[in-house]
């Protein structure tokens, strides 16, 4: 039996406890089931006003916070907004930016690519969804002496955390979409975030409306997204 702890490079490490062990067959079944479950996730733009408890949102955020990160800096911060006035302010500011985007900042080609997805400048979901989660990346931290300490691989880390956030939302039987108003500095302003935080992604979270539609799109096949070198 391995010792409970070990000093590595001068620091205490604890024995890794493998959570579960599976046979090859069980592994295949679980992987296949997990894929089917994830495959059923869709980005949904039509929300119901039905409430979602704060506790559920807390667990979802905690799940996102388990993501790996550069030098374990955990360079993220998630703001959960249910305050109706604040949601309206966010909607208005996002729509203002999107109007600029859709009527000039985005190329013809880009607009054409988005047409099939049913996106436009109307961001009603920012007001209707019971929660908005705004993910912020922390580009640096301030140490005890208020000296800036740069974080590492911040985009990768926060991107992974957001992926896990989206999976946690799906696991709760809720829906979301990744909204990227651009530029999105207005979010740091409205939420009065500290200087080291930059808005990364805005995710409305809630139940789908009883009349929710999603575009009829297909996911790429395994052969299109992978190459095996054996
Ligand atoms: N940020 C805009 C436009 C947009 C861009 C991409 I790339 C999308 O996949 C979807 C939308 C918006 O949120 O509408």
The pLDDT tens digits for 124-133 are 999 999 999 9
Whether ipTM exceeds 0.95: no
Q: How confident is the model at residue 194 (pLDDT cuts 50, 70, 90)?
A: very high
Is the pLDDT at 168 greater than 80, yes or no? yes
Cα separation of 63 and 164, whole Å? 7
> How far from the centroid of its chain's Cα atoms is residue 41's Cα?
13
At 46 the pLDDT is 97
- Measured in angstroms, how far is the CA atom of residue 157 from the centroid of ligand 1? 22
Nearest CA to 132 out of 202, 63, 225 is that of: 202
Which percentage of the chain shows pLDDT scores above 90? 95
CB atoms within 10 A of CB 50: 14
Average pLDDT estimate for 119-140: 97
3-state secondary structure at position 180: coil
Residue 193: CB within 6 Å of ligand 1?
no
Cα separation of 79 and 133, whole Å? 5
Q: Which of 44, 108, 119, 214 to mutate to test the pocket of ligand 1 (most atoms within 8 A of CB)?
A: 119
Contact between 200 and 115 under an 8 Å Cβ cutoff? The reply is: no
At 2 the pLDDT is 82
Mean pLDDT score of the chain, rounded to an integer? 96
Is the pLDDT at 83 greater than 90, yes or no? yes
Long-range Cβ contact pairs of 12-21 (< 8 A, separation 24 or more)? none
Is the pLDDT at 140 greater than 80, yes or no? yes
At 32 the pLDDT is 98
Average pLDDT estimate for 10-36: 97
Cβ-Cβ contacts under 8 Å for 30 (sequence gap 6 or more): 22
Residue 179: CB within 6 Å of ligand 1?
yes
DSSP 209: P
For the four alpha carbons of 171, 45, 163 and 133, in that order, the dihedral sign comes to: negative
Contact between 154 and 139 under an 8 Å Cβ cutoff? The reply is: yes
41-80 residue pLDDT tens: 999 999 999 999 999 999 999 999 999 999 999 999 999 9
At 150 the pLDDT is 95
**pTM of the predicted model, to two decimals?**
0.95
- Measured in angstroms, how far is the CA atom of residue 104 from the centroid of ligand 1? 14
């Amino acid at each position: 039996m391995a010792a409970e702890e070990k000093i590595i490079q001068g620091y205490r490490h604890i024995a890794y406890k493998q959570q579960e062990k599976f046979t090859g067959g069980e592994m295949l079944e679980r992987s296949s089931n997990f894929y089917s479950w994830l495959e059923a996730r869709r980005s949904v733009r039509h929300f119901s006003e039905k409430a979602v408890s704060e506790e559920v949102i807390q667990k979802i955020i905690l799940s996102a916070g388990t993501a790996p990160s550069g030098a374990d800096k955990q360079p993220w911060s998630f703001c959960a907004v249910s305050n109706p006035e604040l949601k309206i302010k966010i909607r208005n500011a996002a729509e203002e930016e999107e109007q600029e985007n859709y009527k000039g900042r985005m190329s013809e080609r880009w607009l054409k690519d988005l047409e099939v997805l049913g996106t436009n400048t109307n961001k009603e979901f920012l007001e209707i969804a019971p929660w908005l989660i705004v993910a912020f990346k922390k580009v640096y931290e301030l140490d005890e002496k208020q000296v800036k300490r740069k974080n590492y691989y911040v985009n990768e880390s926060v991107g992974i955390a957001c992926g896990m956030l989206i999976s946690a939302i799906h696991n709760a039987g809720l829906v979301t979409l990744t909204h990227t108003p651009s530029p999105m500095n207005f979010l740091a302003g409205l939420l009065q975030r500290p200087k080291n935080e930059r808005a990364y992604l805005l995710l409305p979270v809630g139940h789908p409306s009883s009349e929710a539609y999603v575009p009829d799109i297909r996911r790429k096949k395994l052969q299109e997204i992978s190459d095996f070198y054996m």
